[in-house]
């Protein structure tokens, strides 16, 4: 039976406090707290507070507020109504799935090799994520929203396939990267394709997690045909390209035998 | 062995010298550019004075100098490029913000909203801009030629103390005067529904622009004050690394 490994970090310093092996998939937060209590006897369950990353929880909740047309956003006659377009429901599911996946990944998948993020960055980060989420959600869930007109239903279907493909791809890469690094260590290795076909993109790209992330948002843009989404995708693309180029450069510096065929983020192009 | 070592170190010295002094091409271009810009704004100043002396009013003044103003203010965009490629040692962002705010005023306010072209506030910022730019570009020119008279340096780092706030006042009053016309015509705005699923209200955008002066203007002002202390008073200011 598959088990989760749960890493508990200090909220302030992000130091690894505890590593819980063999957490059952259906374990409750209460059970996780009692497992943590075993290794840290002074923190009994009631003294523990396990929090969701607000950076990703924000967009998740904000979008839903627009989706359910909470009062004071749109005209009062639309309060608590839902859109008549099925693509709007689909978009909500995709957006929510994406941020839920991110939240779960930060809780259960990612291993960090360095400690704190400066407070100023958290503020800037949150503003970026929350701001864009609200801007996108406002238009997609607007009573006057226009579903994709260029290729209609075909466009939405294609977009959904791209989105899901890239979400699975992104998740596969996160798992592959996490498995590169043994728990609690800071060793760095070159990532290579695994048995999972979604990781075969490592042959062509250094940071396929960014490639798949870009693909997901590209799919979402196609699905919603909404200019603010296109903007968000473009800005994310620029930022991720900067990060990918930096990571690619540090791989090249650190490893003499780094595969020469790989590009930072887009195969053969960028 | 000895000769190759010598060659190596001589090459090194050459590239080091290139890094420390600006290339001759850069200096030549910047000198030409700054002379041209000084001349341009002098022409603008004279045209404005001539109009006022001949007509006795400021009405129609903007229209008479609009083309020259648009040309020389837009050309200033290359200064962002100068910072980006490093031949001018100023922050790209600071220069970018300053040039963009000018371009915005010229093209998206006074040029597009004809009804406010005869406002006094327009004359206010035009006079401020002209005096500031003539001082600034002649400062750069003389600096590049290593022939800087003290009074130009003094003017460049003291006039702004009054010019900046006056210019801001002129710009803000002009935008404020434009608001009712923007609202009435719905210019530059886009409403729902449309196939891009986006909307843009130029009226509220202008209000946000006006509000953005509140955080931005002090930053630019204090940046100039800090420069002034360094250059005129010889203070050594340790910059915090961001």
pLDDT, one tens digit per residue, over B138-196 is: 999 999 999 999 999 999 999 999 999 999 999 999 999 999 999 999 999 999 999 89
Please give the average per-residue pLDDT across A12-24, as a whole number: 67
Alpha helix (H) ranges present in A113-267?
A: 119-140, 152-180, 208-224, 227-254
Identity of the residue in B192, B197, B199 whose CB atom sits nearest the CB atom of A225: B197
pLDDT digits (tens, 9 = 90+) for B62-98: 999 999 999 999 999 999 999 999 999 888 988 998 8
Give the max Cα distance, chain A.
64
Cβ within 8 Å, pair B195-A146: yes
CB A229 within 8 A of CB A215: no
CB B112 within 8 A of CB B187: yes
Residue A99 has pLDDT above 50, yes or no: yes
Cβ within 8 Å, pair B197-A140: yes
pTM over 0.90: no
A205: β partners? A263
The number of beta carbons lying within 10 Å of the beta carbon of residue A210 is 23
Confidence of residue A46 (pLDDT cuts 50, 70, 90): low
Burial of A150 (0-12, 13-18, 19+ CB in 10 A): exposed
Residue A113 has pLDDT above 70, yes or no: no
The predicted structure's pLDDT at residue A145: 95
Q: What are phi and psi of A6, to 5 degrees?
A: -115, 130
Using DSSP, state whether A7 is helix, strand or coil: strand
The predicted structure's pLDDT at residue B8: 42
Share of chain A above pLDDT 90, in %: 57
Which residue in A166, A135, A132, A141 sits closest to A55, CA to CA?
A: A132
Cα B63 from Cα B157, distance rounded (Å): 31
Cβ within 8 Å, pair B193-A224: no
> Is the torsion defined by CA of B36, B37, B40, B41 positive or negative?
negative
Which residues are CB-contacts of A182 (< 8 A; sequence separation ≥ 6)?
A: none
Q: What is the dihedral of CA A174, A220, A139, A73, to 10 degrees?
A: -30
Which residues are CB-contacts of B124 (< 8 A; sequence separation ≥ 6)?
A: B166, B167, B169, B170, B173
| B195 to chain A: closest CA residue | A146
- Rounded to the nearest angstrom, the minimum Cα separation between B91 and chain A is 20
Please give the average per-residue pLDDT across A117-146, as a whole number: 89
Which residues are CB-contacts of B16 (< 8 A; sequence separation ≥ 6)?
A: none
A118 has a chain B CB within 8 A of its CB: no
The predicted structure's pLDDT at residue B90: 87
What is the CB-side half-sphere exposure of residue A176 using CA atoms within 13 A? Answer: 23
Cβ within 8 Å, pair B193-A144: yes
CB B219 within 8 A of CB B233: no
Which residue in A50, A228, A1 sits closest to A137, CA to CA?
A: A228
Residue B5 has pLDDT above 70, yes or no: no
What is the CB-side half-sphere exposure of residue B47 using CA atoms within 13 A? Answer: 19
Using DSSP, state whether B146 is helix, strand or coil: coil
List of chain A residues whose C-beta atoms are within 8 Å of the C-beta of residue B198: 139, 226-228
A211 has a chain B CB within 8 A of its CB: no
List of chain A residues whose C-beta atoms are within 8 Å of the C-beta of residue B194: 146
Cα B103 from Cα B114, distance rounded (Å): 16
CB B231 within 8 A of CB B153: yes
pLDDT digits (tens, 9 = 90+) for A167-207: 999 999 999 988 887 776 767 788 899 999 999 999 999 99
Residue whose tokens read 């009074």:
B151
Cα A98 from Cα A26, distance rounded (Å): 21
| A224 to chain B: closest CA residue | B197
Instruction: List residues of B with catalytic annotation.
Output: 164, 171
List of chain A residues whose C-beta atoms are within 8 Å of the C-beta of residue B197: 139-140, 142, 145-146, 224-228
Q: What is the dihedral of CA A6, A10, A14, A20, to 10 degrees?
A: -20
Selected residue with higher pLDDT from A124 and A94? A94
H helix or E strand, kind and range, residue A22: strand A16-23
CB B137 within 8 A of CB B41: yes
């Amino acid at each position: 039976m598959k088990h989760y490994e749960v890493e508990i970090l200090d909220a302030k310093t992000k130091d690894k406090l505890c590593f819980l092996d063999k957490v059952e998939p259906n374990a409750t937060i209460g059970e996780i707290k009692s497992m943590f209590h075993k290794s840290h006897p002074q923190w009994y369950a009631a003294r523990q507070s396990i929090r969701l990353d607000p950076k990703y929880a924000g967009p998740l909740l904000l979008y839903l507020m627009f989706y359910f047309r909470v009062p004071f956003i749109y005209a009062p006659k639309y309060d608590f109504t839902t859109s008549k377009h099925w693509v709007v429901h689909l978009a909500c599911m995709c957006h929510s799935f994406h941020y839920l996946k991110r939240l779960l990944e930060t809780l259960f998948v990612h291993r960090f090799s360095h400690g704190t993020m400066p407070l100023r960055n958290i503020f800037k980060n949150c503003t970026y994520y929350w701001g864009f989420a609200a801007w996108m959600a406002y238009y997609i869930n607007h009573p006057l929203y226009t579903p994709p007109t260029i290729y209609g239903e075909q466009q939405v279907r294609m977009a959904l396939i791209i989105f899901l493909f890239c979400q699975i791809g992104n998740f596969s890469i996160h798992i592959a990267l996490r498995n590169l690094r043994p728990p609690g260590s800071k060793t760095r290795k070159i990532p290579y394709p695994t048995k999972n076909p979604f990781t075969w993109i490592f042959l062509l790209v250094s940071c396929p997690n960014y490639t798949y992330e870009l693909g997901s948002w590209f799919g979402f843009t196609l699905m919603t045909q909404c200019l603010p989404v296109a903007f968000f995708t473009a800005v994310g693309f620029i930022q991720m390209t900067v990060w990918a180029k930096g990571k690619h450069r540090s791989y090249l510096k650190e490893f003499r035998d780094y595969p020469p065929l790989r590009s930072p983020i887009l195969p053969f192009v960028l | 062995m000895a000769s190759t070592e010598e060659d190596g170190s001589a090459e090194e010295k050459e590239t080091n010298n290139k890094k420390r002094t600006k290339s001759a091409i850069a200096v030549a271009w910047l000198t030409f550019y700054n002379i041209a810009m000084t001349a341009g704004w002098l022409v603008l100043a004279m045209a404005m004075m001539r109009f006022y002396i001949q007509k006795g009013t400021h009405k129609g003044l903007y229209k008479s100098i609009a083309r020259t103003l648009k040309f020389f203010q837009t050309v200033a965009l290359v200064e962002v490029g100068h910072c980006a490629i490093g031949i001018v040692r100023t922050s790209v962002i600071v220069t970018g913000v300053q040039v963009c705010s000018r371009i915005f005023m010229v093209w998206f306010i006074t040029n597009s909203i004809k009804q406010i072209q005869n406002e006094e506030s327009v004359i206010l910022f035009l006079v401020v801009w002209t005096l500031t730019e003539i001082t600034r570009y002649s400062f750069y020119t003389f600096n590049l030629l290593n022939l800087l008279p003290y009074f130009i340096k003094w003017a460049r780092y003291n006039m702004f103390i009054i010019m900046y706030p006056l210019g801001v006042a002129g710009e803000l009053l002009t935008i404020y005067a434009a608001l009712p016309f923007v609202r009435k015509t719905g210019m530059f705005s886009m409403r729902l529904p449309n196939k891009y699923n986006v909307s843009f209200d130029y009226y509220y955008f202008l209000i946000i622009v006006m509000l953005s002066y509140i955080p931005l203007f002090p930053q630019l002002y204090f940046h100039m004050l800090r420069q002034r202390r360094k250059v005129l008073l010889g203070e050594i200011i340790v910059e915090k690394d961001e």
